[in-house]
Amino acid sequence: MSLLTGGAISTFLGLLGLIFWWSDFVALLKGAVPIFLILGGVLAVYIGFDDIQDKLNRERQKQDEELARARDEIEAVKAQTNLYREELDRLREGASKTSAGE
């Protein structure tokens, strides 16, 4: 209840202040608008810069993932190549034993 009463009194005094000091209020607004524009512009620049950094980090992370995937594929191909090489060596040994036994 006291909060409601305090809010009503504050609202009434605020309206009286606007009525009696309207020209001062307008002068305050005229002085505050450029400051708010400057602060808003600085905030927008900061957010834009942060967004660009996030985008670059995402691209770098994507490239690192692709590089890791390519390295994994290279390792898989190397392992498969070694298997084929071993099989080829076994086939050559079998062929040389067969031709030596004839």
Helix axis angle, 2-20 to 22-101, nearest 10° = 110
Answer yes or no: are the C-beta atoms of 35 and 42 closer than 8 Å: no
For the chain, give every domain's residue range: 31-101
Q: What is the pLDDT of residue 101?
A: 61
C-alpha 22/C-alpha 87 separation (Å) is 95
Owner of token pair 């191909």: 77
> Mean pLDDT per 10-residue run, the chain (102 residues)?
93 94 92 95 96 96 96 95 92 78 60
pTM of the entire predicted model: 0.54
Number of H helices, E strands in the chain: 2, 0
